[in-house]
Amino acid sequence: MTFEEILKLKYLNNTVEQHLEALGLFLALMVMFRIFRGIVLGRLRKFADATSTKFDDKLVDAFDAIHPRFYDLTAFYFASHYLTLPDNVSKFIDGLFLAAFIVQFLISSQKVIEYFLHNMLRDDETNESDQMMFNGINLFVRIILWATGFLLFLSNMGVNITSLAASLGIGGIAVALAVQNILSDVFSSFSIYFDKPFAVGDFIVVGEHMGTVKKIGMKSTRIEALQGEEIVISNQELTNARVQNFKKMSKRRIPFTIGVTYDTNLEKCKEIPAIISKVFSEVDNADLDRVNFFEFNAYSLDFEIVYYHLSGDYAEYMRVREQINLRIKEEFEKAGIDMAFPTQTLLVEK
């Protein structure tokens, strides 16, 4: 029997020549993939490490995340197409390769998506709220990605996903109605993160509550009140409420009134604006706007003072205000000006 006749022999519905061609293609692809993983990826890694951008590093990571067995399966898949196989065997190989391809594609895609999410969302890697928000959005994106991949696999395997999608839609509506409050809080946390009405460390006022933001979670935000207790407010309530953020203040306008007694003579009343101006010239983080003789009160001559505190920090504001009050009292005592307080004069006739 000649060599040509041997090649024409059939085994498992395929000639020996077809078996050899399939084997040759399988071995060639195996060698090519080994070269790609061992040499090409190594050189790409060195090139990516030498560049300043991190995007090429993530692309190399995406290819490096491909499992070596997937290369073997890919070589076997293309080699099997040189053979005539039973329908059930052919469908099994196609389904196995499709499932492995989708899984590897999703794993590699996650590397690239995480890179973009990292650049878009995380300003400070040490910020616990940023870390938690990054993990939450990353989880949400991964769920959508894997659900899409699963439906794509079923569609390519001949499953009618229209009715499946309809049933999942109805079930999704039922689940959404059941957990709508939780979902509202979660999406509100996204709104807080992207809009940034406040951040950890800001002093805010929400309705009757005020305090320093300690943690912004996926469902609620925790505030440390001035009295020391912790206030937990749902994120949905925060996005629907009017929030005053004092940390974002570049300056604070403060008006206040000082009353002096009625027996203060005219000359001393005229000295008061100069005295107040002198006090503010010696105090940091405070700009005097105006000083005016405001009105004749029932028991005092009232002067209105308006100044700007050049900081949004509440503790600093209280320190400066205390310093201003002490200096005003000190200067008034030096000038012999008496502060007024509620008094009544009683005239008694004999």
Is residue 283's pLDDT more than 80? Answer: yes
Which structural domain range is residue 66 located in? 3-177
Mean pLDDT for the chain? Answer: 81
Which one, of 177, 180, 99, 193, lies nearest residue 138 by Cα?
Answer: 193
- In this predicted structure, the answer to whether residue 127 has a pLDDT above a threshold of 70 is no
Number of structural domains the chain divides into: 3
Residue 189 domain flag: no
Do 259 and 285 belong to one domain?
yes
> Which pLDDT tens digit goes with each residue over 86-114?
888 888 888 888 888 888 888 888 877 77
Q: Is residue 22 part of a domain?
A: yes
For residues 116, 118, 124 and 130, what is the CA-based torsion angle, rounded to 10 degrees?
120
- CB 274 within 8 Å of CB 282: no
pLDDT, residue 165, reads 60
pLDDT in tens, 42-79: 888 888 878 877 777 777 877 887 888 888 888 888 88
Rounded Cα–Cα distance for residues 280 and 229 (Å): 36
Residues 84 and 155 in one domain: yes
The span from the CA of 329 to the CA of 152, in Å, is: 79
Amino acid sitting at position 321: R
| Nearest-angstrom CA–CA distance, 100 and 86 | 21
CA proximity to 11, closest of 112, 88, 84: 84
Do 39 and 87 belong to one domain?
yes
Q: Domain boundary at 177, 205, 227, which?
A: 177
Beta strands in the chain (DSSP E): 10-11, 14-15, 203-206, 209-216, 220-225, 230-234, 243-245, 252-260, 286-296, 301-309
User: CA 107 to CA 96: how far, in whole Å?
Assistant: 17
11 and 157 housed in the same domain:
yes
List, for residues 194-245, the tens digit of each pLDDT value.
777 888 888 888 888 888 888 887 788 888 887 888 888 888 888 888 888 8
- Same domain? 172 vs 273: no
Based on the domain organization, do 210 and 313 belong to the same domain?
no
Does pTM top 0.85 for this prediction?
Answer: no
- Our separate counts of H helices and E strands in the chain read 12, 10
The pLDDT value recorded for residue 5 is 67
* DSSP SS3 for 45: helix
Report the distance separating Cα 186 and Cα 218, nearest Å.
Answer: 5
pLDDT score at 278: 94
What value, to the nearest 5°, has the Cα angle with vertex 314 and ends 309 and 316?
65
Asked, for residue 229, whether it belongs to a domain, the answer is yes
Q: Are the beta carbons of 57 and 48 closer than 8 angstroms?
A: yes
For residues 48 and 56, give the distance between their C-alpha atoms in angstroms, rounded to a whole number. Answer: 6
Sign of CA dihedral 132, 133, 139, 142: negative
The winner for highest mean pLDDT among 168-172, 183-187, 327-331 is 327-331
Q: Is residue 350 part of a domain?
A: no
Quote the crossing angle between the two packed helices 314-335 and 266-281, to the nearest 10°.
140
What single-letter DSSP state applies at residue 13?
A: T
CATH number, domain containing residue 327: 3.30.70.100
> Based on the domain organization, do 13 and 83 belong to the same domain?
yes
Residue 344 located in a structural domain: no
Is 168 within the bounds of a domain? Answer: yes
> Where residue 216 sits, what CATH number does that domain have?
2.30.30.60
CA distances from 178 to 8, 149, 183, 206, 220 (A): 67, 26, 10, 28, 19
